[in-house]
Amino acid sequence: MGEILPINTAVRKDDVYAVATQQIDKLLRHEPDLTANLANIAAVLHNDFGFLWVGFYLRRDTDLVLGPFQGPQACPRIAIAPNPANLCGQAAALGTVAIIGNMSEFPDYVPCHSHARSVIVYPLAINGRSEMILYIEGIAFSAFDDADRMGLENIMRLIERYYYR
């Protein structure tokens, strides 16, 4: 069904996101199960971009609970309230995207893996409440930029359209 695309540095990131978004849209259109689709989205992003860790945390009351992911083991639960536990909890509590270029400069950072250097956290807020976050770790410093923010926004909008209407 899916294919692993080799990383080609001559290809622009936003072009890879465009192809990945089309692939993800097809997956979502043909499978009604959210968990299955989040697993495939994590696989697409992990394979297409070579990220160290890609995964979802799903809201369960006042916590985020580990969902489908690709990469090394991860924290199983992260507090959102009353006090957000870390970067993921803070992004979910505030409903804002976070991009950190050098994780060693972020005081509350708990890496999934010791090789992680940078991260992007993208919450999906429905009616003002973050229902999930997409969390991605990169091996390089400053691995994430506006192309990632926009590409991930398009993917998160697809999830919203198919599951949170």
Q: pLDDT tens digits for 130-145?
A: 999 999 999 999 999 9
- The two three-digit tokens of residue 73, written as one number: 């083991």
Give the pLDDT confidence score for residue 139 in this predicted structure: 93
| Residue 129: strand, helix, or coil | strand
Tell me the pLDDT tens digit for each residue of 92-123: 999 999 999 998 887 766 666 778 899 999 99
What are the residue ranges spanned by the domains of the chain? 13-163
What is the average pLDDT score of the chain?
91
CA geometry: angle 130, 58, 50, nearest 5 deg = 105
CA 55/CA 19 separation, integer angstroms: 19
Q: What pLDDT is recorded for position 145?
A: 97
How many CB atoms are closer than 10 A to CB 88?
Answer: 25
pTM given for the model: 0.91
C-alpha pair distances (Å), 134 with each of 9, 26, 47, 113, 156: 24, 19, 16, 16, 8
Residues 40-68: tens digit of each pLDDT? 999 999 999 999 999 999 999 999 999 99
Q: What is the pLDDT of residues 72-84, one digit of tens each?
A: 999 999 999 888 8
Q: Is 70 left (phi over 0), alpha (psi -120 to 50) or beta?
A: beta
Fold of 13-163: Beta-Lactamase (3.30.450)
Tokens 């936003």 belong to 14
Q: How far apart are CA 28 and CA 102, in angstroms?
A: 33
Identify the bridge partners of residue 130 per DSSP, sorted by sequence position: 125
